[in-house]
Structure 1
Amino acid sequence: MASDVRTGSDPGPGGRDIRHLPKAHLHLHFTGSMRPATLLELADKHGVHLPEALTSGEPPKLRATDERGWFRFQRLYDAARSCLRTPEDIHRLVREAAQEDAADGSGWLEIQVDPTSYAPRLGGLIPTMEIILDAVRTASRDTGVGMAVVVAANRMKHPLDARTLARLAVRYADQGVVGFGLSNDERRGLARDFDRAFAIARDGGLLAAPHGGELAGPASVRDCLDDLGAQRIGHGVRAAEDPRLVRRLAESGVTCEVCPASNVALGVYDKPQDVPLRLLYDAGVPMALGADDPLLFGSRLAAQYELARDVHGFTDQELAELARQSVRASRAPDEVRERMLGGIDAWAR
């Protein structure tokens, strides 16, 4: 996917440099944020044999719209995750994710993680959360990028596991956890099976931000709204297939965390121009562009804005509005939001 868009280093003819546009990054997965070179170094350090698709130097060829394709995507992700084994590895990943975001103009990053995936090697759920949050605080201090955590349950696991994670997330709500999500294959199971976990999270003051409307259609988005009380939707692009749902999202102000490059890489859409960015924007649906899993999809945050500009014809003023929408949908502190919104206005002028 990296070859389909500019990296953000070239402002293009008559366009402002996207890297200088302040923006919030609200859809970035933990392991998926890793630099490819870091993955190779950690694999060598821990003696992990990686699939060739992760060592070729190019983003793997993926298509997850069928069960076999999703299994391959998940297998690659799990292989990369197995290279994160020590607190030092966690700190390195978070620090480098913040550095990449800083280079792309992000002033606020909400990184999404399922701590159960790392807990066996880090001493359990509570030690894992504390290591992650310490890494987030350190990286934020060192890079200047504000950071927070969205704890995500895995919809392939039992709903009781999700409730455990929701309680854990609430426990750290005043220490850097701002939201609760639900990830993995949305075609499996029912959103309502996780309604109690999301009620625990919302009652604890956390944002509800489940995945929906990517691999499954508009009904998946409706289920997130109706059954989980979603305040943001991870992806949500398939809502474009239902005009009534598009109006509902616009009227309710629920933000869709749209990740254009990953939508194409996973085969949700055949070409970048098929991603319904323009339709959703013109209908008034708030959006926050995200990179999803740069390790596997090959492009980071600024490249998503470049795609909006180059493929979908977004003007610089419209790109500035997309950035504003990302900031408004974030859980950044008021002073951070005000500073970023002021910076967006200055960029647009």
Structure 2
Amino acid sequence: MSLRDLPKVELHLHLEGGAPPRFIAGLAREKGLDISRIFKPDGSYDYRDFWHFLEVYEAACSTLQTPEDYGRLTRAVLEESAANGVVYTEAFLSPDFCGGRDLSAWREYLSAIMEAAEAAERSMGITMRGIVTCIRHFGPEAAKETAKCAAETAGDWLVGFGMAGDELRGKPRDFAYAFDMAREAGLGITVHAGEWAGADSVRDALEALRPARIGHGVRAIENLELVDRLAERGVVLEVCPGSNVFLGVYPSWEDHPIAQLKARGVKVTVSTDDPPFFHTSMTAEYDRLAQTFEWEEEDLRELARTATHAAFCGEATRERILERLEPADV
């Protein structure tokens, strides 16, 4: 079996960040928006560094203006994921961008996303669930409004709550109220930490917000006592190696600590983060893992099993996905 066909599970995917550039360019033409500056001549996204990436990302998102746009986006993203062997994905969604944290508007956006996801499952066999994220640099009060949207729409499809945004702004404890609200609604908890800030960022998120998973988390490697604590508590890391290398968190795949974290007993999974922006895919991630760390097919299947056990979906869905991960002759 080729690595492209190997069944995969992804836990860290920003819905807008998964938008194929051709899809965004098409929306821009439909709406009469001139965002040609964000594309290279070959049609891919064009940016110089992380901060310019944020500007390009914002310009791309300016084309997403209605629930219908988000429905179409969902289908486009899932088509790319399914083509790379992904059988289950959890995508980050934000009421900040889908209705401005207005609960009524958020319900409309969420309905369009869910409808598109359910259609993709029927036609492509890929299962999607949603995780609401508050935006760290928007502040704690906005996070409370976002958490309310999440709590009011929690269920079999909307299964988690997390926090993205500028990791250098604010302290995790400032957002404890929002996370408590989400936890009381039965949502799984994940937090972006340990990407642009160091091990202390992971430790603070762990202590203040008690997440089951941490987005990125790789810079925990700078404190081996913390690494051991993650392993002991069974906290799962949503690792995005291609993203980390592309953005310069680590200079190369050889320098990336995913293998060290795994060897020390931490539960690691692999995701793409914002795949077209970072010129990656789940197939490309698996290829590089195999090449760099000499991981074999069973090592990669184990990554998917770990991710499935860490997913925030219901048990019936988990069992169904686990069955799809096993070789056909088992």
TM bracket (short chain): over 0.9
**Change in 2 beyond 3 A, CA 1:345/1:142:** closer
Structure with more relative contact order (C-alpha pairs < 8 Å, separation 6 or more): 1
**Structure 1 segment 1-349 matched on structure 2, within 5 A:** 16-50=1-35, 52-56=37-41, 57-64=43-50, 70=51, 72-119=52-99, 124-346=105-327
CA distance in 1, matches of 2:254, 2:239: 14
**Change in 2 beyond 3 A, CA 1:217/1:84:** same
Give the CA deviation at 1:213: 0.4
Q: Contact (CA 8 Å) 1:277, 1:312: kept in 2 or not?
A: no
CA distance in 1, matches of 2:190, 2:127: 19
Residues 272-319 of structure 1 show CA distances to partners (whole Å, capped at 9, x for unaligned) of: 221111101111211121110013111112211111111222122211
Letter in 2 for 1:337: R
Q: Contact (CA 8 Å) 2:157, 2:313: kept in 1 or not?
A: no
Letter in 2 for 1:40: A
Identity, in percent, stands at: 38
Give the CA deviation at 1:348: 9.4
Give the CA deviation at 1:105: 1.6
CA distance in 2, matches of 1:283, 1:121: 40
Residues 79-130 of structure 1 show CA distances to partners (whole Å, capped at 9, x for unaligned) of: 0111112333211111121122222221111110112213259983332233
CA distance in 2, matches of 1:320, 1:131: 32
Q: Secondary structure at the match of 1:124?
A: helix
Give the CA deviation at 1:327: 1.0
Residues 149-199 of structure 1 show CA distances to partners (whole Å, capped at 9, x for unaligned) of: 100000111211111111211111125111111101101111111011001
CA distance in 2, matches of 1:305, 1:59: 23
Give the CA deviation at 1:51: 5.3
**Change in 2 beyond 3 A, CA 1:94/1:154:** same
Q: Contact (CA 8 Å) 1:28, 1:290: kept in 2 or not?
A: yes
CA distance in 1, matches of 2:267, 2:34: 42
Give the CA deviation at 1:132: 2.6
Any stretches of 5+ residues in structure 2 without a counterpart?
none
Deviates more, 1:47-56 or 1:204-213: 47-56
Give the alignment's TM-score, normalised by structure 1.
Answer: 0.88
Q: Contact (CA 8 Å) 1:28, 1:291: kept in 2 or not?
A: yes
CA distance in 2, matches of 1:317, 1:171: 40
Aligned CA-pair RMSD: 2.1
CA distance in 1, matches of 2:236, 2:251: 24
Letter in 1 for 2:246: A
Give the CA deviation at 1:229: 1.1
Deviates more, 1:126-135 or 1:148-157: 126-135
Deviates more, 1:328-337 or 1:110-119: 328-337
Q: Contact (CA 8 Å) 1:62, 1:265: kept in 2 or not?
A: no
Give the CA deviation at 1:59: 4.6
Residues 249-278 of structure 1 show CA distances to partners (whole Å, capped at 9, x for unaligned) of: 111111111111110111101112211111
Any stretches of 5+ residues in structure 1 without a counterpart?
1-15, 65-69
Deviates more, 1:307-316 or 1:198-207: 307-316
Give the CA deviation at 1:52: 2.6
CA distance in 2, matches of 1:347, 1:156: 46
